[in-house]
Amino acid sequence: MVGHLVPFLDGDLMRVVELWRYPVKSLQGERLDAAELGADGLTGDRHWALFDRDTGLGLTARRVPELLFGAARLRPDGGVEVVLPDGTVTTDEAAISDWLGRPVELREAREDDGEGPTYEAPVDDLDDLAEWQQWQGAPGPFHDSPRIRVSLVSTGTLGHWDRRRFRANVVLDGEREDDLEGTQARLGAARVLIGRGIARCVMTTRPQAGGIARDTSVLKTIHRERGGLLAVRAAVLEPGVVRTGDELRPA
């Protein structure tokens, strides 16, 4: 177990350098100075998603890469608004449908009823084949998995890659977050249990707003050098506020 604690025992604690919330699944998110962490992750994170009215399937940038050129942000009243690629700010589903070229519904997450929505993803993310399979996401907020409520990645792990490709909630300075699997830690005022690495998909290779180009080498490198995993998941054991500059420290 000592090996899991090396980054803490070395006295080289990692600090929060960025916090990100993604109110609508697969759209660009918003950078925060502080965030409330609860059992479902950051308040408002993946709390909405777009669904195809004809098929009933949830949309992700794996299937609809255009989503990465729109953005979402929370309103002061707790609702959400979408920023289209041309800068239009809207909550009008007709306008969003016109942008995506399909009839869509902007759906808010329900209380966890034990059943998550259905999405489609490529069968082979490495080659980005046009062959698709359906998969079920998490109940409640629209995370890919019920085991991923908060995601953390370090600048050392990212190296030269643009951190926006990986859509992590918490970006830490330092490195070796993978060594902390199975440990409890304080993240600001919250207490979290750090879990396994996060399996990566074709979304990491997609072009995005802000000048991020398509790059298939990203996913191939993650598979070759990291077993397909990058960043770690965390479960929130005790809610609390986390701010940029806070340390990740032993609980």
Is the pLDDT reported for residue 71 higher than 70? yes
List, as one string, the DSSP characters of 60-71.
Answer: -TTT-GGGGG-E
> HSE on the CB side for 203, CA within 13 Å?
27
Q: What is the pLDDT of residue 10?
A: 62
Predicted confidence at residue 127, as pLDDT, reads: 56
Task: Give 205's DSSP letter.
Answer: G
pLDDT at 76: 92
pLDDT value of residue 115: 75
Residue 2 has what pLDDT?
A: 37
Chain segment 97-152, per-residue pLDDT in tens:
999 999 999 999 987 666 788 887 776 665 555 566 776 777 788 888 887 899 99
Query: What is the residue type of 109?
Result: A
Q: Does the pLDDT at position 3 exceed 70?
A: no
Mean of the per-residue pLDDT values for the chain? 90
pLDDT band at 94 (very low <50, low <70, confident <90, very high): very high
Q: Domain limits of the chain?
A: 2-243
**CA gap 222, 227 in Å, rounded:** 6
Rounded Cα–Cα distance for residues 142 and 58 (Å): 9
Residues 242 and 179: their CA atoms lie apart, in Å, by 22
pLDDT per residue as tens digits for the range 189-214: 999 999 999 999 889 999 999 999 99
Cβ 232 vs Cβ 188: under 8 Å: no
**pLDDT higher at 61 or 147:** 61
What's the pLDDT score for residue 110? 83
The pLDDT, as a whole number, for residue 96 is 98
Residue 92 has pLDDT above 70, yes or no: yes
